[in-house]
């Protein structure tokens, strides 16, 4: 069974209304990453110096050596940048979520006290500010546990939010398995929170953003100065605010770093943005934990009635084998092909089934056409149609024909079948008796190939309508 694990579907065109407090059009959430003292350093037992997110052009790890310039840049974040940001946010009375690296918090008693005095949320940013992609499952699992232990020692309570940042493919699952987290943020895939089922248990995901992250001051393409940064934040806010006014409120995440936006010239861009959003009403500025609690209340997890891509073969074929009339082989082939979360809706599953129908040989597709009953024919009179066909024909009133109408349908059925070799097929839910008869007479004039193509298209349309009746 080939199952594609990535979710390319999401909320689709039907995103839920976030219903932010006070009818806010947008939730603007500030994250301050506190990593200073938790970065790669041989003093911390690491193999090399840090080289990530610093103002050293072309920085590279130095194996077995300390890097004085990089270390001092991280120290700037703790010594100066943090306090500049702390003053601004406390004076503006805006809440902040700290992504705190556990080992960094253990080396920052004054900064930690200031965070707690301000009432900021302190979420976990992992044990150390290091790369996780090459860690074994056991090593990463151990680091998650140690991060929670140290975080609890430092702050007095365990973290309820998690963001690794330099994560592996296993990070989200491992953190969810550890348990007890109100949210995990190691994704960048949406403008709204969402629920993800991990090993049978629902976990709230609150996506983060790197497009609005101040890391782009030291990565390319990025921001050259505070004014460019401000303009990008302003444009992002304006777009999301307008969508909220139109009835689709979203979330804007800003990721900050003490050693980056804490620099004076960059800081001015952030300050301008804070001043800008304060001129608007209906803007909610929460912590990420506030967002999590709101989402749990307004949009609690609801298990789907069925998830097609996760069904065993027998159940999948039982449920969807009749979508294409008497052609279970289409469902069997679809199950054996690549299925993913994108195939768990009516449109998505229709695409998977339709693809198998289109890939079939002309003879196989002809057999599907011949599996369909005549409209208002002998099978209908004998009540031997499938449940779907019975309901569809009844929807157009074909179960209540006058004698004259029945004779006309019989004559058209005979003429059509004699000419093309398969029954006349039309998505009757799109029609009434009059338009069905008009289509019948019009299509009798088609060439054999044109009518084969038309009938196949109608078979696909019938399948879509059947799926829309049972799936989102």
Catalytic residue numbers?
372
Whether 30 contacts 256, CB under 8 Å: yes
Dist CA 193 CA 204 (whole Å): 7
Torsion angle of C-alpha atoms 208, 214, 218, 224, degrees rounded to 10: 130
Whether 70 contacts 51, CB under 8 Å: yes
Residue of 186, 292, 192 whose CA lies nearest to 244: 192
**What phi and psi, each to the nearest 5 degrees, are found at residue 100?**
-100, 115
Give the chain's radius of gyration (CA, Å): 30
Work out the end-to-end distance of the chain between its first and last CA atoms, rounded to an integer number of angstroms.
24
Dist CA 465 CA 429 (whole Å): 8
Triad 79, 108, 170: Cα angle to 5°? 110
126: left (phi over 0), alpha (psi -120 to 50) or beta: left
* DSSP string of 94-149, one letter each residue: ---EEEE-HHHHTT-HHHHHHHHHTT-EEEE--SSBS--TT--HHHHHHHHHHHHH
Q: Which residues contact 49 (CB under 8 A, 6 or more apart)?
A: 40, 41, 42, 61, 62, 65, 66, 67, 70, 71
Tally of helices (H runs) and strands (E runs) in the chain: 18, 9
* DSSP string of 38-91, one letter each residue: SBS-GGGT-SB---SSSSSTT----BT---HHHHHHHHHIIIIIHHHHHHHHHH
* Residue 80, token pair as written in the block: 């100066």
Whether 32 contacts 262, CB under 8 Å: no
Whether 114 contacts 97, CB under 8 Å: no
| The residue to which tokens 């006309």 are assigned | 408
Dist CA 411 CA 405 (whole Å): 10
Of all helices (H) and strands (E), which one includes residue 195?
A: strand 194-198
């Amino acid at each position: 069974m080939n199952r594609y694990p990535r979710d390319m579907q999401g909320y689709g065109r039907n995103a839920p209304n976030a219903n932010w407090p006070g009818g806010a059009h947008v939730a603007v959430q500030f994250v301050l990453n506190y990593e200073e003292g938790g970065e790669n350093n041989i003093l911390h037992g690491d193999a090399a110096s840090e080289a990530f997110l610093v103002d050293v052009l072309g920085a590279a790890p130095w194996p077995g050596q300390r890097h004085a310039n990089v270390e001092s840049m991280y120290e700037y974040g703790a010594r100066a940048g943090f306090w500049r940001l702390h003053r601004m946010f406390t004076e503006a009375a805006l809440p902040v979520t700290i992504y705190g690296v556990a080992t960094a918090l253990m080396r920052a008693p004054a900064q930690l006290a200031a965070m707690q005095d301000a009432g900021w949320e302190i979420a976990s940013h992992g044990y150390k500010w290091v790369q996780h992609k090459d860690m074994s499952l056991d090593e990463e699992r151990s680091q998650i546990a140690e991060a929670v232990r140290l975080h609890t020692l430092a702050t007095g309570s365990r973290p309820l939010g998690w963001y690794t940042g330099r994560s592996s493919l296993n990070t989200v699952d491992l953190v969810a398995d550890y348990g007890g987290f109100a949210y995990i943020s190691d994704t960048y895939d949406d403008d709204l929170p969402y629920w993800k089922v991990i090993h049978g248990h629902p976990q709230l995901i609150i996506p983060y953003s790197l497009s609005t992250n101040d890391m782009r001051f030291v990565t390319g393409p990025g921001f050259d100065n505070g004014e460019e940064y401000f303009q990008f934040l302003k444009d992002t806010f304006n777009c999301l605010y307008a969508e909220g006014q139109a009835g689709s409120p979203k979330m804007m995440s800003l990721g900050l770093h003490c050693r980056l936006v804490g620099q004076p010239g960059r800081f001015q861009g952030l300050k301008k943005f804070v001043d800008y959003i304060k001129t608007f009403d209906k803007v909610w500025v929460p912590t990420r934990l506030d967002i999590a609690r709101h989402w749990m209340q307004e949009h609690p997890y609801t298990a789907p009635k069925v998830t097609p891509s996760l069904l065993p073969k027998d159940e999948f074929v039982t449920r969807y084998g009749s979508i294409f009339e008497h052609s279970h082989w289409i469902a069997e082939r679809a199950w054996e092909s690549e299925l993913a979360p994108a195939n768990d809706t009516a449109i998505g599953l229709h695409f998977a089934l339709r693809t198998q129908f289109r890939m079939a040989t002309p003879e196989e597709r002809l057999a599907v056409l011949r599996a369909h009953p005549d409209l208002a024919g002998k099978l209908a009179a004998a009540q031997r149609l499938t449940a779907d066909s019975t309901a569809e024909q009844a929807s157009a009133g074909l179960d209540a024909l006058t004698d004259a109408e029945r004779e006309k349908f019989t004559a058209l059925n005979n003429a059509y079948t004699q000419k093309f070799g398969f029954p006349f097929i039309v998505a009757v839910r799109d029609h009434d008796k009059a338009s069905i008869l008009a289509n019948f007479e019009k299509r009798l004039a088609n060439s054999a190939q044109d009518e084969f193509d038309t009938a196949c298209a109608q078979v696909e349309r019938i399948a879509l309508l059947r799926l829309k009746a049972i799936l989102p």
